[in-house]
Amino acid sequence: MALVRPVRVVLENLPENYFEEHELVYHPSDTAFGSRRVPFTRTLFIDSSDFRESDSPGYFRLAPNKTVGLNGVPYPITCTGVRRAADGSVSEVLCRYENEASVPKPKAYIQWVADSPQHGSPVRIDELRVYNPLFKHANPDEKSVTGGFMNDVSETSLEIIHGAVADIGLWDSIKRYAATDAGKKELNEQNVETLRFQFMRIGYFALDKDSSMPLSAIESDQIASTKLVMNRIVTLKEDAKKDA
């Protein structure tokens, strides 16, 4: 699981040292891909796109007084309020972990990543490069665009995002790759583009050559000595009518 623009969530009814561990599969329909165990703690992150301060019909993700499920977690959470930064923006979403109450099954499940540095979570992505359509029109020729295609380049064709995070499965996958003969060879030659991942609900990503991935840092589990720069190489199809 990965979050492009994470927002902090605090489960206020849990103690500061609360800890669970959940096993999540890498591929929901193919167990051959294996699984990983991820921490679950009082403080976690969700993507900002999964939270709204104002609820609306047909919206099933998190909002004040609304309950949602967390992928792979047995109990849902309910939003009870927010904390704000000095500029008025939401700095934290306050929630209740419904592990002691009977609540209806949520209509939506969202991604999350634990805030648990002692367990290596989250894995911080130094730079996420999201490539969007280069042109504003499907056929930017002189008939449809005054001045031709060079005047039709979209200002948002490349988004560079800092602060994205992923669960520890990303780092575990990198370590597993580095333990193979092929992985050692590619990493020693700085061929990091061969490492590719699917981020749920976001797209497919590959490490960029601007990444720094010393084999020695990976083998010694020193993620702080690496730099993760990831490019989106394939988008996912989305239902434009779906607001949930």
Are the C-beta atoms of residues 82 and 95 closer than 8 Å to each other?
A: no
- Residue 46 scores a pLDDT above 70: yes
Beta bridge partners of 106: none
Distance in angstroms (rounded) separating the CA atoms of residues 19 and 65 = 25
- Residue 243 scores a pLDDT above 80: no
- Residue 38 scores a pLDDT above 60: yes
**pLDDT recorded at residue 146:** 74
- Residue 68 scores a pLDDT above 80: yes
Higher-scoring residue by pLDDT: 179, 148 = 179
Are the C-beta atoms of residues 9 and 122 closer than 8 Å to each other?
A: no
- Residue 145 scores a pLDDT above 80: no
In the three-class reduction of DSSP (H, G, I as helix; E, B as strand; rest coil), residue 34 is classed as coil
- Residue 238 scores a pLDDT above 70: no
Average pLDDT over every residue of 15-26 = 93
**pLDDT recorded at residue 34:** 86
Mean pLDDT (the chain, rounded): 90
**pLDDT recorded at residue 134:** 85
> Please, what is the end-to-end C-alpha distance for the chain in angstroms?
18
**pLDDT recorded at residue 142:** 64
- Name residues whose C-beta falls within 8 Å of residue 80's C-beta, 6 or more positions apart in sequence: 12, 64, 65, 94, 95, 96
Average pLDDT over every residue of 205-214 = 95
Average pLDDT over every residue of 194-222 = 93
Distance in angstroms (rounded) separating the CA atoms of residues 36 and 55 = 34
**pLDDT recorded at residue 84:** 93
- Name residues whose C-beta falls within 8 Å of residue 68's C-beta, 6 or more positions apart in sequence: 50, 60, 61, 62, 76, 77, 106, 108, 109, 110
Closest CA to 166 of 131, 212, 107, 207: 207
- Residue 155 scores a pLDDT above 60: yes
Distance in angstroms (rounded) separating the CA atoms of residues 186 and 125 = 21
Q: Which two tokens mark 154?
A: 């979209």
Average pLDDT over every residue of 96-100 = 93
**pLDDT recorded at residue 39:** 96
Name the band, by pLDDT with cuts 50, 70 and 90, for residue 152. confident
Q: Residue 173 is inside which H or E element, if any?
A: helix 169-178
In the three-class reduction of DSSP (H, G, I as helix; E, B as strand; rest coil), residue 218 is classed as helix
Residue 122 preceded by cis peptide, ω within 30: yes
- Residue 143 scores a pLDDT above 70: no
Check: pTM over 0.75? Answer yes or no: yes
Average pLDDT over every residue of 121-138 = 91
206-234 CB burial, b ≥16 within 10 A, e <16? bbbeebebbeebbeeeebeebbbbbbbee
Distance in angstroms (rounded) separating the CA atoms of residues 78 and 110 = 13
Percentage of the chain lying above the pLDDT 70 cut: 96
Average pLDDT over every residue of 184-194 = 92
* Farthest-apart Cα atoms in the chain, separation: 64
- The C-alpha torsion from 33 through 38 and 43 to 46, rounded to 10°, is 0
**pLDDT recorded at residue 132:** 87
Name the band, by pLDDT with cuts 50, 70 and 90, for residue 244. low
